[in-house]
Chain A
Amino acid sequence: MTIPDTSTAVSERPAGASTAPRPFLDVRDLRVHFPTDDGLVKSVDGLSFQLEKGRTLGIVGESGSGKSVTSLGIMGLHTTGQYGRRKARISGEIWLDGTELLSAGPEHVRGLRGRRMAMIFQDPLSALHPYYTIGRQIVEAYRIHHDVDRKTARKRAVEMLDRVGIPQPDKRVDAYPHEFSGGMRQRAMIAMSLVNNPELLIADEPTTALDVTVQAQILDLVLDLQKEFGSAVIVITHDLGVVAELADDILVMYAGRCVERGPAERVFHEPRHPYTWGLLGSMPRLDREQRDRLVPVDGSPPSLINLPSGCAFNPRCPYADVPKDDVTRTIRPEPTEVGDRHWAACHLTREQRERIWTEEIAPRL
């Protein structure tokens, strides 16, 4: 089926935007709330970030920190899928190449999905339709946005399968998803997502369902393709190892908010938030100097219905009592710049942070 191409007219930048052009993807104060019988679940609660083309952003956090909901919100899929018929309340602004998505009509956003922004899912076996051949699904994905005959679309499908490294693409194009191995399925999924050359690719835990050996191959593939197409990529994961390999920038999420954001280099080597310290401390590393036990982050993620007052991390934070006047339990910290393009939302002062990092945390990592 074909969709009239209405998007080009709207996607142009507004006239007044000539000064200081907006980043390719600009998310401002995004909030996604789900009303439930138990109360309002604030899955994402005031998230802002920017992403340029050709860059990779890694979003890291525990289960339930709002990573996936963020990506679904950007894609305009927050009212569907695993969240069922639940009406999500979404607010804030999502600018994709000068178009604000939340105020654009659903039909307009649908025209952008797949063509300008695409998504790779965690489990390719469940994200591919079991009833159709791989080729048929890529053909359909292509024909949603391109008015071409099946033959041309099929050629394109074979080309994409070849590009993502599937051997004998002209034969495998007629295979069913269950006839592929896990890694090949994810390659096929990537081929399907990239068939329309999207400028924004969101990979939601792209390697979680795969073998460790295949993970590296898939990550390499995503990086290669990004270089080739120059798209902006968001990688969502709970695995710091994955983003360490891929991401230019890292955003650490906790309880629906950003706790630390900055260039990967800085977040890994000079993290400025106690939660990031905890994540790093709980990550197995081969280059660790002291090979003693991993240090878990104590406690469990907070309820998104009743967030702790003040800093959401305060009940689990070993340094919650360091700032004066009980401020961690009363005032919600806003992200403050702690370095070049590096923000952290924490009440610790610069001196306290640097002291704790150099004296207590860094030697243990």
Chain B
Amino acid sequence: MTAPLHEPTAKAAPSPVAEAAPGAVDEAAAVGGDTGPVQGRSPARIAWERLKRDRLALTGGAVILALIVIAVLAPVISNLVGQDPDVFHEDRIDPLFGTPKGSLGGISGEHLLGVEPVNGRDIFARILHGARISLLVGFLSALVAVVLGTVLGIVAGFFGGWVDAAISRVMDGLLAFPQLLFIIALVSVMPNDMLGMTGSSVRVFVMILVIGFFGWPYIGRVVRGQTLSMREREYVEAARALGAGRLHILAKELLPNLVAPIVVYTTMMIPTNILTEAALSFLGVGVKPPTASWGQMLSNAIDYYDSDPLYMIVPGVAIFTTVLAFNLFGDGVRDALDPKSSR
């Protein structure tokens, strides 16, 4: 009999309960347990529980996690398969046409996804290393945009007046700015080395800054709008009525309500930035050759679309999968954070 074990915890449990069927013992323990019948769930926990039920979002999240692991471990993985992204394999190339020997772009046990035409670099290794560039630019430029957008959006929404007018006009201006043309122009006048960086590092650094800089107005507008509506809420007024100061209201009353839109916009912004990076590299103003990038691979593959279609398909699928995964995950996060959505 387990009854004696429960005597100390179940403070008011009458003995009939303890003597009843074994199932009832659990109930007695639950009633007397220190968690109690009332347990509040925090908004973050509610959102997490909703997200857990969304299979598409979870799949997206899993793919993103896998991509991050791949990007971080790219050198390790390519070493494991015995390939280097920069080594030429001219022996694998048909000298007459410049295309890989064998079917399907030269897929073999050695080169899992075949080799590039002409140079014969291993595509698998280059895809792995391309993931690094894509995610690095995607995440860091989103970070730049989120930090700028959140700070300036909150300031504009909260303080209003001429501050709001100034920031809003800057946002309007940036949104109307031909971003792509600007970057293309910028890259053509950019020095080859700066701040101790050379070659592709400079390009990546500049891309992160520029994409982030042109991206912040999107998130800035959302945050500003949200701040405007939040600061009119009665609980903000109630906080003021209790004597709360500006800083307290900004940090404790407004910011928690901005977390949801910021998270959602960030997850939506990352795939857009990855696409922008791919587009820039495709146009030849992004990452410079020996460094691998998906967009650049696609660009090179154009010339071989009929003779070596796989060379085009592989980076295309990589970009597609990544963007899709982020979008699915972003949708799921948005649904999970929005108490009004029901699925």
Which residues of chain A have a CB within 8 Å of any CB of chain B? Answer: 1, 3, 75, 77, 80-82, 84-85, 110-115, 118-119, 121, 123, 126-133, 140-141, 144-145, 168, 171-172, 174-176, 179, 189, 192-193, 196
Contact = CB atoms under 8 A, between A and B. Distances in A.
Contact of A129 (B235, B243, B245): B235
B69 interface: no
A121 B234 contact: yes
Interface in B239-257: 239-245, 247-248, 252-253, 256-257
Nearest to A81: B237
Nearest to B246: A110
Contact of B237 (A3, A77, A118): A77
B232 A171 contact: no
Given A77-B237, A127-B235, 8 more contacts: A81-B234, A113-B241, A114-B243, A128-B238, A129-B253, A129-B256, A140-B244, A179-B38
Interface of B: 36, 38, 40-43, 160-161, 231-245, 247-248, 252-253, 256-257
A356 B160 CA distance: 54
Given A131-B257, A171-B38, A119 B243 contact: no
A186 B14 CA distance: 36
A77 B247 contact: no
Contacts of B231: 80
B242 A114 contact: yes
Contacts of B244: 114, 140, 144
Contacts of A176: 40-43
A121 B256 contact: no
Of B160, B240, B245, B257, most buried by chain A (CB within 10 Å of CB) is B240
B240 A168 contact: no
A191 to B, nearest CB: 12
A168 B38 contact: yes
A333 to B, nearest CB: 34
Contacts of B36: 168, 171
Contacts of B160: 85
Contacts of B242: 113-114, 118, 141, 144, 192-193, 196
Contacts of B235: 126-130
A261 to B, nearest CB: 25
Given A118-B242, A126-B233, A127-B237, A133 B248 contact: no
A193 B38 CA distance: 24
Given A81-B232, A127-B234, A127-B235, A174 B240 contact: no
Given A85-B160, A175-B38, A175-B40, A75 B241 contact: yes
A112 B241 CA distance: 9
A179 B237 CA distance: 22
A113 B238 contact: no
Contact of B40 (A80, A115, A179): A179
Contacts of A112: 243
A75 B244 CA distance: 13
A82 B235 CA distance: 11
B241 A114 contact: yes
B253 A144 contact: no
Nearest to A76: B240
A127 B241 CA distance: 11
A232 to B, nearest CB: 16
Nearest to B35: A171
B237 A144 contact: no
Nearest to B241: A119
21 contacts: A1-B248, A3-B243, A77-B241, A81-B236, A82-B232, A110-B240, A111-B243, A114-B243, A119-B241, A121-B241, A126-B235, A129-B235, A129-B256, A130-B43, A140-B252, A144-B248, A168-B36, A171-B38, A174-B40, A189-B238, A192-B242
Contacts of B248: 1, 140, 144
Contacts of B241: 75, 77, 113-114, 118-119, 121, 193
A198 to B, nearest CB: 9
Contacts of B161: 85
A110 B43 contact: no
Closest 4 CB pairs of A and B: A114-B243, A114-B242, A81-B237, A113-B243
B38 A172 contact: yes
Nearest to B159: A85
